[in-house]
Structure 1
């Protein structure tokens, strides 16, 4: 099953739930030093738990920019596939495109878009529509 970000009536496709979990896992382990929500509470608590309320979208947008900048400083070998089992690795292993040079570029949706760019677009839509954002299954 595919998951994505939903801002009524728009759905932004991400891909598998495991793939999206890897995005959050990498933030948790590599950027928050294994203290969930310590640096990015809206993204890691509200959004991860399924729903980012409309009153928090602007601040979440700022958090995402910080996440993007921090991930851009990490090589793609720093990916964390699952924070609950650090021995796991992506199904494709280290076989990634040469165009991916850092972790901000690593997460590419099932339809070929940068996941961070997709989340930025979903957040902008939420602001325009004065709505929250959720993670939903397609």
Structure 2
């Protein structure tokens, strides 16, 4: 059994959503970049993909982030088979293999946090 350190999203000192492994979080961002940003990482969603991914984003950018999250959500009707586990190595696949859960019909509900809400919804709460 492989152990991993869970990662999460802390929205404020009282609101924490456990996401799972760091690989799963990287998969989320890899999929956004590969499937929705034809000109490369952060070219279409700079606040989400550059500021938030690489830095501790200041709250003054929340409106820009929210706009990007909504745009991503509107484009999230992509099949779960099109998930990109690692943008640096496109041959990598999720460790659980194919999704056999009929409730996961698109990427809109593929990326759920350990505590329940979809990851994109968590970013909207920021």
Q: How high is the TM-score relative to the length of structure 1? A: 0.81
For structure 2, list consecutive stretches of 5 or more residues without a partner in the other structure. Answer: none
96, 99, 123: which one pairs with 1:95? 99
111, 117, 120: which one pairs with 2:124? 120
Bigger proportion of residues as strand:
1
- The ranges of structure 1 where at least 4 consecutive aligned residues each deviate by more than 6 angstroms after the TM superposition are none
In structure 1, the residue corresponding to 2:89 is in which secondary structure?
coil
99, 108, 114: which one pairs with 2:112? 108
Greater relative contact order, per chain length (Cα 8 Å cut-off, separation 6+): 1
In structure 2, the residue corresponding to 1:14 is in which secondary structure?
strand
Whether 1:77 aligns to 2:77 is no
Supply the distance in 1 between the matched residues of 2:103 and 2:64 (Cα, whole angstroms): 30
Which residue of structure 2 lines up, in the alignment, with residue 126 of structure 1?
none
For structure 1, list consecutive stretches of 5 or more residues without a partner in the other structure. Answer: 124-138
Structure 2 matches for 1:8-27, cutoff 5 A? Answer: 8-9=12-13, 10-27=15-32
Total equivalences in the alignment: 121
